[in-house]
Amino acid sequence: MSRLEPSKWAEQVVKQDEIDKYLVKGKDFIDEEAIHEKLLNNKKPDKKFIRDIIQKSLSITRLEPDETAALLNVEDEELWEEMYEAANEVKHKVYDNRIVFFAPLYCSNLCVNSCIYCGFRKENPEEKRRILNMEEIRRETEAVIDEGHKRMIVVYGEHPLSDVDYMADSIKAVYSVKKKGKNGYGNIRRVNVNAAPMSIADLHKLWEVGIGTYQVFQETYNHELYKKLHPAGPKANYLWRLYSLHRALDAGIDDVAIGALFGLYDWRFEVMGLMYHTIDLERQFGGVGPHTISFPRMTPAIGSDFSTQSKYLVNDDDFKKLVTVLRLSVPYTGLIVTARERPEVRREAIKVGCTQMDASTKIDIGGYSEAPNMQRQDKQQFMLGDTRKLDDVIRELAQEGMITSFCTAGYRCGRTGDKIMCLLRNCTEGKFCKLNAVLTFREYLDDYASEETKIVGEQLILKEIEEIKSMPFYKQHNLIEKFDEYYERISDGERDVYL
């Protein structure tokens, strides 16, 4: 890790040449005037035009900015109901009835930035600072595994003590944990990363240690507001952040993830920003856009009045609408709803197209192994809305006919980058994922589920297997016999078997 004093370290983070290479005639891809113009020009859209857009989404084709702007301008509640229904149908076409689970692990809250909405900002005296060592990371990982998780996203503040070498060591530490359980051992099979923008060379270091998806949120796509909200630190550079995922793809990382923090600025503008971000990634990288899109809403953060007083805070109805528009606009991309949201809000988000979520979440440093039953506000970035245990959430979903998936097969079978984008657009990847969802759900029921969840889960698995055996795709590709074999092996105690 770096030995430089934090302010000196921060000064050398940004590499201007790794911004300039992606600009077009010296300009970035967020044209605010064009965004406002499209939102204005598509006011009061014709019903037939909206229904034509819905049909385009149902064909699993990405929308154009004018089409997204039209959806954002719908005022007719009956038309919104049609959009909600279509968003759910799009999700089922591409992803079936699966919900993928993960757990976040916050490794450090040291930070050199001054974001006025964030509890981690360097000037905040109320935040208790800490960075986990490798042994502590292993203990946290063990606690996460004990819940049944197979995926983790590691999160870091931007600071020389949590630089790329620390990140690489922490990823290796997570992968190293093998926790003995009732049947063999449990482990984390996929480590995604939420971290500050880095140079291509540093990003390649993360690729070398087996990073999964690299996630960076732009926070707001409004240039001027971004500048006001990020007055100091490397994060003050809008373009360095805007092109962080371009650099990641150039560094060899297959999957990248975008997002915006809703509540900083007008939600319709931010949805358009996410669309333009998607379009530019696809344009520059042969159709490879974001693997997932996130849309966290700003929640209270200790030491930040702005986090509760912004005039752009998004209400529940508008939150459901923005999720719906994102699902229809980028029909093949995963959508993540996090534990920032209350349970009832997450239920609605799933109904309109969300595909991933976290549970049993702890975002205070050391929270999984040291303080598992409380939220320490002075040790975390913001407050959570859903603190339920993973088993409770899984049971609720199963009662609604949705299967929990811990699958990481696609990443280890090479179904990433342009390959997975093609498979998602063709509605093929979801069919492989359906098989692997059943296999990993079988693991969960046998190794971690409560008796109450097992009862509901067994009924759901029987229904899923019946569906699999009736679907022509599996018969045509001779997958049923292989699936039966793998299911039997897992039922007999073997682990981590996938197609």
> Nearest CA to 122 among 112, 107, 132?
112
Residue 374 has pLDDT above 60, yes or no: no
Residue 380 has pLDDT above 70, yes or no: no
Q: How is the chain split into domains, by residue range?
A: 6-26+90-410, 415-491
- Taking only the tens place, the pLDDT of each residue in 202-258 is 999 999 999 999 999 999 999 999 999 999 999 999 999 999 999 999 999 999 999
Greater confidence (408 vs 435) lies with: 435
- Taking only the tens place, the pLDDT of each residue in 87-107 is 999 999 999 999 999 999 999
Per-residue confidence band for 408, with pLDDT thresholds at 50, 70 and 90: confident
Q: What is the mean pLDDT of the chain?
A: 93
Residue 478: is it exposed, middle or buried by C-beta count within 10 angstroms (0-12/13-18/19+)? exposed
> Nearest CA to 457 among 145, 448, 94?
448
d(CA 242, CA 385): 28
Residue 122 has pLDDT above 60, yes or no: yes
d(CA 197, CA 187): 28
pLDDT in the model for residue 145:
97
> Strand locations in 340-431, DSSP E?
356-358, 403-405
Q: Do the Cβ atoms of 112 and 159 come closer than 8 Å?
A: yes
Residue 378 has pLDDT above 70, yes or no: no
Residues 6+ apart with CB under 8 A from 243: 18, 19, 22, 28, 197
Per-residue confidence band for 292, with pLDDT thresholds at 50, 70 and 90: very high
pLDDT in the model for residue 124:
83
Half-sphere exposure of 145 (CA within 13 A, CB side): 23
pLDDT in the model for residue 288:
95
Q: What is the CATH number of domain 6-26+90-410?
A: 3.20.20.70
d(CA 361, CA 104): 7
> Nearest CA to 322 among 367, 257, 267, 280?
267
Q: Which two tokens stand for residue 402?
A: 């949705």
pLDDT in the model for residue 118:
86
pLDDT in the model for residue 415:
66
- Taking only the tens place, the pLDDT of each residue in 27-79 is 999 999 999 999 999 999 999 999 999 999 999 999 999 999 999 999 999 99
d(CA 108, CA 366): 9
- Taking only the tens place, the pLDDT of each residue in 417-459 is 777 778 778 877 888 899 999 999 999 999 999 999 999 999 9
